[in-house]
Amino acid sequence: RQLLKDSFMVELVEGARKLRHVFLFTDLFLCAKLKKQIGGKSQQYDCKWYIPLTDLSFQMVDESEAVPNIPLVPDEELDAMKIKISQIKNDIQREKRANKGSKVIERLKKKLSEQESLLLLMSPNMAFRVHNRNGKSYTFLISSDYERAEWRENIREQQKKCFKSFSLTSVELQMLTNSCVKLQTVHNIPLTINKEDDESPGLYGFLNVIVHSATGFKQSSNLYCTLEVDSFGYFVNKAKTRVYRDTTEPNWNEEFEIELEGSQTLRILCYEKCYNKTKLTKEDGESTDRIMGKGQVQLDPQALQDKDWQRTVISMNGVEVKLSVKFTSREFSLKRMPSRKQTGVFGVKIAIVTKRERSKVPYIVRQCVEEIERRGMEEVGIYRVSGVATDIQALKAAFDVNNKDVSVMMSEMDVNAIAGTLKLYFRELPEPLFTDELYPNFAEGIALSDPVAKESCMLNLLLSLPEPNLVTFLFLLDHLKRVAEKESINKMSLHNLATVFGPTLLRPSEKDSKIPANPTQPITMTDSWSLEVMSQVQVLLYFLQLETIPTPDSKRQSILFSTEV
């Protein structure tokens, strides 16, 4: 009996999330928990359950068996954990620089480890179920489809070599569980705290990925890809191509911009879209699109530094996917650049545009919002999923030259590209919608602990915005609230929307930014940066969560007018 694979996983036990260490041996699958270490004793495992591979299946024994509800942790809570993690890392770096006693650092590291373990425990929400033919079913929660597929493949591969069932005596089980300590390959929970100081902290910034095409499919089907990257120690799904129908050689040629937070790996999964629900094997009690292949590529900071596109081919069991990647570090990706030609709308001050158009809210904002309200409100991940970059650039160019056919162009485009164009417009404003001048005040206001003082401060600040900024913001705010009303379908909560739009609407221009000009210490920069971003998210979330925003009469009049425009 040999160990083939092991890792930490979250098990759902009677509605509670528990951290487990799972071990796949040549003939069985074992789920253990790490015992608390008592005074100098070495690590020990406690076996929770095991299933001989011959008895293990991914099928539901009885279709009508209730699938346990997955208790989801609100994004606000996950974000609060990330803020804490960034703050503690900041403190550790500060203590190291000050060369304070190791006691303080040890204490902080312990706190960091607790917070990171909590985040790891609370974030996964994709079910991975295993069943024992002789009765019980167990549910794990995983954050990456890639890992779930990998476990299934490894288990199935090994099952071909297993023929008879067995049961272990308690002594055998104890010996096997004890051997896990020596055999384990994954020694630490995958937290950044467990990385050595000289290990790469990963990349922070934006990764542009073009998914070109794929070859090597045996028969023609409907194909799409998803991209995952790791952040905070676990993988999350970041982008999805459109479905290319009835083909063996899909040509997606779609470009995505993915934000990296300490990422080291890009994964790609290729799926066959199943439209016909009856043919589906019910896996895990839920209908699934079939994974046709998966692969990954390491993001090497050295290779990606040169700012140019790099082509790469990822091979996965007979299928080859062609990609291009380009990395922009945070320092460069966040500059707000005023446009050189003031006749367009991108990179031009909002007051100039509204005055020229004789409008209250820029035409581009009204057009994009209208189109999304017409057909994007039920799109899963609207505003979070990247649109195709070439489409966004085409729309940007059309709005800039005031092309009369822009509404026709929009009606033919994927709705994510329209969402992307709206985000790009706000991101490229030479000054943020919340203005450079008021930005520090908003950041201070959101940090107030007294709710009454906070509300009065935040509303006063909001109403001190220049009129075009205020009216445009309230127009956008109403729209985002309507998007969140359909959260059960589009999966976009107020919090998700605040995460997407916060930095876009608040991030100050270069001159006011706290980002150091020479990022010699990438770590310290990233953590103060994360904190700044999180405060920007909190500000927007605050306004999204207010029931009503009372506005003075003069402004209320113009707002009523703007919504009729």
* pLDDT, position 513: 46
Question: Which residue from 276, 528, 240 is spatially nearest to 379, judged by alpha carbons?
Answer: 240
- Are 235 and 328 found together in one domain? yes
Please determine, for residue 524, whether its predicted confidence score (pLDDT) is greater than 50: no
Tens-digit pLDDT profile for residues 428-462: 999 999 999 999 999 999 999 999 999 999 999 99
Please determine, for residue 396, whether its predicted confidence score (pLDDT) is greater than 80: yes
DSSP 218: S
Tens-digit pLDDT profile for residues 206-254: 898 999 999 999 999 999 999 999 887 788 888 888 889 999 999 998 8
β-bridge mates for residue 225, sequence order? 270
Contact at 8 Å (CB) between 189 and 120? Answer: yes
- Are 135 and 260 found together in one domain? no
Q: Is residue 8 part of a domain?
A: yes
- Are 368 and 313 found together in one domain? no
- Are 81 and 67 found together in one domain? no
Residue 33: domain span: 3-71+125-183
Please determine, for residue 191, whether its predicted confidence score (pLDDT) is greater than 90: no
- Are 216 and 106 found together in one domain? no
CATH number reported for the structural domain that contains residue 457 in this entry: 1.10.555.10
Please determine, for residue 137, whether its predicted confidence score (pLDDT) is greater than 70: yes
Q: Is residue 558 part of a domain?
A: no
* pLDDT, position 44: 87
Distance CA 475, CA 169 (A): 68
Please determine, for residue 105, whether its predicted confidence score (pLDDT) is greater than 70: yes
Helix orientation angle between 522-545 and 75-98, rounded to the nearest 10 degrees: 150
> Where do runs of H (alpha helix) occur along 305-385?
330-333, 350-357, 363-375
* pLDDT, position 422: 97
- Are 104 and 129 found together in one domain? no
- Are 44 and 178 found together in one domain? yes
* pLDDT, position 194: 57
Please determine, for residue 199, whether its predicted confidence score (pLDDT) is greater than 80: no
Contact at 8 Å (CB) between 486 and 378? Answer: yes
The contacts of residue 224 (CB under 8 Å, 6+ apart) are 240, 241, 242, 243, 244, 252, 270, 271, 273
Q: Is residue 133 part of a domain?
A: yes
Please determine, for residue 336, whether its predicted confidence score (pLDDT) is greater than 50: yes
Please identify, among 104, 120, 136, the residue that sits at the C-terminal boundary of a domain.
120
Q: Is residue 165 part of a domain?
A: yes
More confident residue, 106 or 65: 106
* pLDDT, position 202: 81
Q: Is residue 191 part of a domain?
A: no
Please determine, for residue 556, whether its predicted confidence score (pLDDT) is greater than 80: no
- Are 218 and 179 found together in one domain? no
- Are 50 and 168 found together in one domain? yes
Tens-digit pLDDT profile for residues 493-514: 999 899 899 999 999 986 544 4
Tokens, residue 419: 């969402």
Please determine, for residue 358, whether its predicted confidence score (pLDDT) is greater than 70: yes
Q: Is residue 424 part of a domain?
A: yes
* Strands annotated E in 264-378: 265-272, 290-298, 310-316, 319-329
Please determine, for residue 520, whether its predicted confidence score (pLDDT) is greater than 60: no
CATH number reported for the structural domain that contains residue 22 in this entry: 2.30.29.30
Distance CA 274, CA 129 (A): 21
- Are 397 and 520 found together in one domain? yes
* pLDDT, position 286: 46
> Where is average pLDDT lowest: 124-138, 318-332, 344-358, 521-535?
521-535
Please determine, for residue 49, whether its predicted confidence score (pLDDT) is greater than 90: yes
- Are 375 and 281 found together in one domain? no
The count of domains in the chain is: 4
Tens-digit pLDDT profile for residues 245-303: 999 999 998 888 888 888 899 999 999 988 765 444 444 444 468 899 999 999 988 88
State the chain's mean pLDDT as an integer. Answer: 86
Please give the C-alpha separations between residue 519 and each of 125, 260, 328, 330, 524, in angstroms, as whole numbers.
Answer: 35, 16, 13, 10, 9
More confident residue, 370 or 58: 370
> Where is average pLDDT lowest: 88-92, 290-294, 378-382, 428-432?
88-92
User: What is the band of 39 on the pLDDT scale with cuts at 50, 70, 90?
Assistant: low
User: What is the band of 555 on the pLDDT scale with cuts at 50, 70, 90?
Assistant: low
Please determine, for residue 413, whether its predicted confidence score (pLDDT) is greater than 50: yes
How much of the chain is helix, strand and coil, in % rounded to 5?
40, 25, 35
User: What is the band of 99 on the pLDDT scale with cuts at 50, 70, 90?
Assistant: confident
Per mean pLDDT, which of 50-64, 101-115, 295-309, 471-485 is the most reliable?
A: 471-485
CATH number reported for the structural domain that contains residue 215 in this entry: 2.60.40.150
- Are 324 and 371 found together in one domain? no
Q: Is residue 414 part of a domain?
A: yes
> In the Cβ-directed half-sphere of 55, how many Cα atoms lie within 13 Å?
16
Q: Is residue 189 part of a domain?
A: no
The terminus-to-terminus CA distance of the chain in angstroms comes to: 73
